[in-house]
Amino acid sequence: MATVAPSLNGGPTVPAGAYTGLSPQSRLVPPHDSSRRQVSLFGATGTLVAHIIGGGVLAFPYAYSQAGIVLGGVLTVVAGILADLSLQLIVLTARATGQIEYYDIAAKLYGPVARIIVAALVCLASFLNLCLLTILIADLSAPVLEYAFGSAWTARGDWGLIEVKVVACVLVLPLHLCTSLHALRYLAIATASTALMLALMVLIRSSESLGAPSHSVAIAHQCGLSIVQAHTDRLLFITERWQSLLSALPIFVCAYMCHTNVLRLHAEFVMPTRNRVKRVIHSSLSIVMVIYLIVGSFGYLYAIERTCGNVLLNFRRDDSLAIMLRVCLAFISLGCMPLQLMPGRRALFYVIHHLPSSLACWCPSILSPRALATFSQQNDSAHHHNQQTDTLSSTGSPPELLRQPMIAGKGRSSDGEDGAMTVDIMEQTDLQQEGSPEPDGESPDREARRLSLERGGTIDVLDKVGWVHYVIGTVLYAGTATLVSIYVRSLSSILTLGGSTVAMTIAFVLPSGLYLRANWARQGGRAFKICSILFLVFAVPLGLLGTIEAIYKLSSPRCPVPSPLLQRHLTHMVHRQCRDTVLIPSVLRHF
């Protein structure tokens, strides 16, 4: 007698006799009907938008000034479409492997060495994000301090920016040493809200200058902010220098980075059918794309050839809207610093702790016989643990990683009356194929294994690090990021470097390689396979060329200097401790 699968949220029932456990094509962890899945369609879209938008939105006008306003708009749309495809690739790979973390997907498909590589990339990405936030705090604080203290601040010159960066690092050091920052989890939503305010301000200020042959904008230099003229006839539609395009492309790539967040969100998403997951990705990237188009085009129309790496440096120090945004973003960035440090520090300690065993797996001859024997014992234990984990995941027991949802509450998307969710019969069939139903009861042995894994099977690597090493590692990690931010003064420079190296790898190279590894021998998915191959063919050389260009421009100024003569004049002013900064506007009028 055929059994009948239980209905989902009151929907129609589906015969379950044809489905025995997981399908050979994909598997969901946790299962589709797990109580751990509490994020609704609307909540998932809002969460993904909040995680995508970051400080990189401030550099979009600069990217448009390098690529041209027409080509910049095209690249914004193209980058969004490509990011959409790469997000689908990584989600499909997660469904095919039954994993929910980038580390685990790489390790399952390529072995423990791949896990170390992904951990190193996460460590580097968090490090560059920490540098970016430090630079951003200095850029946002300097005009406010200049407005508040006047010449007493401008006389500090570059030392003022250095002091702000060091003070920011010292202020958040106690938070850096914390192991849990659950109270700061809503800062991503605050960042997205501030990005909407930025788009509104850029629209207002650019509309005020439309139709004029020239208008006044600010630029930042070693002695503070000064007013210059932006000329409409210098508006660039399409760049003629391919080197400028290499500076712009990584910024577009960085802008849509959320590949690690989408995996966690997919693991907590209610009814994660392929169509619903696609709706979340499409909707989120469309919203973000509109914000980027507004900020990029209208920010460039406002500053034109004077566009700075951070568009907020192009607004006067006494602009009330700019002051409000600078203060808000400065405090948000200060709170985001420990959030960026935590995954990087965990990845750093993970690499240090597991690098010898991973190298032994790849090249056993580099270790001594004693170390090799130790690694062999650890490998056998890890293999036994993986078998237990696979058994539990296939029977519906959620891993420890999913205990805390990204969004609190039990949000559901409702399509009918009284909040009842209507489910298409085909989507129910899709879910029954991909997610294994939870068993009615667990045997004592299985229950014991589950409790063992929940208590000790997923021990964080930080639990194995002593307190002294923990503090030293944290201080060195944060201090090195501060030193790098002192040398790299421009927000666009750090974005170009990060986009060419880490973002290009995490967004395109890794998803393509993982998807091809997991699905190459399977029938179907030809379009995604071709897309993955094209990503690998173009992303690797573009990343290398962009990295070379980024290193070459690493010490670029925060804003474009009109001429070498002005640069020499500014250098002379710095040597005089910016005491006669009143002469700078008269010099700038000639350029």
pLDDT in tens, 14-36: 333 333 333 445 577 777 777 77
Residues 6+ apart with CB under 8 A from 291: 53, 57, 195, 196, 199
- At the topology level, CATH places domain 35-393+444-559 in Amino acid/polyamine transporter I (1.20.1740)
| Contact call for residues 535 and 253 (beta carbons, < 8 A) | no
Give the best-scoring range by mean pLDDT among 29-43, 177-191, 196-210.
196-210
pLDDT for residue 585 is more than 80: no
CA dihedral 408, 413, 417, 419 (to 10 degrees): -20
Residue 14, H or E segment:
strand 14-15
Residues 6+ apart with CB under 8 A from 190: 328, 332
pLDDT given for residue 393 in this prediction:
43
pLDDT for residue 420 is more than 80: no
pLDDT above 90 coverage of the chain, percent = 29
pLDDT for residue 451 is more than 90: no
Task: Tell me which of 36-50, 174-188, 281-295, 340-354 is least confident.
Answer: 174-188
HSE (side-chain half, CA atoms, 13 Å) at 182? 6
Greater confidence (434 vs 195) lies with 195
Q: Where are the domains of the chain?
A: 35-393+444-559, 561-591
HSE (side-chain half, CA atoms, 13 Å) at 586? 4
Identify the bridge partners of residue 231 per DSSP, sorted by sequence position: 214
Q: How confident is the model at residue 361 (pLDDT cuts 50, 70, 90)?
A: low
Q: How confident is the model at residue 449 (pLDDT cuts 50, 70, 90)?
A: very low
pLDDT given for residue 249 in this prediction:
93
Can you tell me the mean pLDDT for 189-214? 87
pLDDT in tens, 114-128: 888 998 998 999 999
pLDDT for residue 183 is more than 80: no
pLDDT in tens, 533-583: 999 999 999 999 999 988 988 888 888 866 555 555 555 554 454 554 444
pLDDT for residue 435 is more than 60: no
Residue 540, H or E segment:
helix 526-552
pLDDT for residue 177 is more than 60: yes
pLDDT given for residue 16 in this prediction:
38
Q: How confident is the model at residue 478 (pLDDT cuts 50, 70, 90)?
A: very high
pLDDT given for residue 107 in this prediction:
87
Can you tell me the mean pLDDT for 284-307? 93
DSSP codes, 74-108:
HHHHHHHHHHHHHHHHHHHHHHHHT--SHHHHHHH
pLDDT for residue 68 is more than 80: yes
Can you tell me the mean pLDDT for 490-494? 89
CA dihedral 169, 170, 175, 177 (to 10 degrees): 100
Residue 546, H or E segment:
helix 526-552
Report the chain's mean pLDDT, rounded to a whole number. Answer: 76
C-alpha 516/C-alpha 528 separation (Å) is 9
Can you tell me the mean pLDDT for 186-209? 86
pLDDT in tens, 368-406: 455 545 555 555 555 554 544 444 444 443 333 333 333
pTM of the model as a whole: 0.77
Task: Tell me which of 265-274, 378-387, 487-496 is least confident.
Answer: 378-387
pLDDT given for residue 121 in this prediction:
92
pLDDT given for residue 559 in this prediction:
83
Give the best-scoring range by mean pLDDT among 72-81, 488-497, 568-577.
72-81
pLDDT given for residue 541 in this prediction:
93
Can you tell me the mean pLDDT for 223-227? 79
Task: Tell me which of 218-227, 250-259, 378-387 is least confident.
Answer: 378-387
pLDDT given for residue 59 in this prediction:
92
Q: Residue 441 in 3-state DSSP?
A: coil
DSSP codes, 442-467:
--HHHHHHHHHIIIIIT--GGGGS-H
DSSP codes, 123-176:
HHHHHHHHHHHHHHHHHHHHHHHHHHHTHHHHTTTHHHHHHHHHHHHHHTHHHH
Length of the chain: 591
Q: How confident is the model at residue 201 (pLDDT cuts 50, 70, 90)?
A: very high
Q: How confident is the model at residue 178 (pLDDT cuts 50, 70, 90)?
A: confident
Greater confidence (112 vs 179) lies with 112
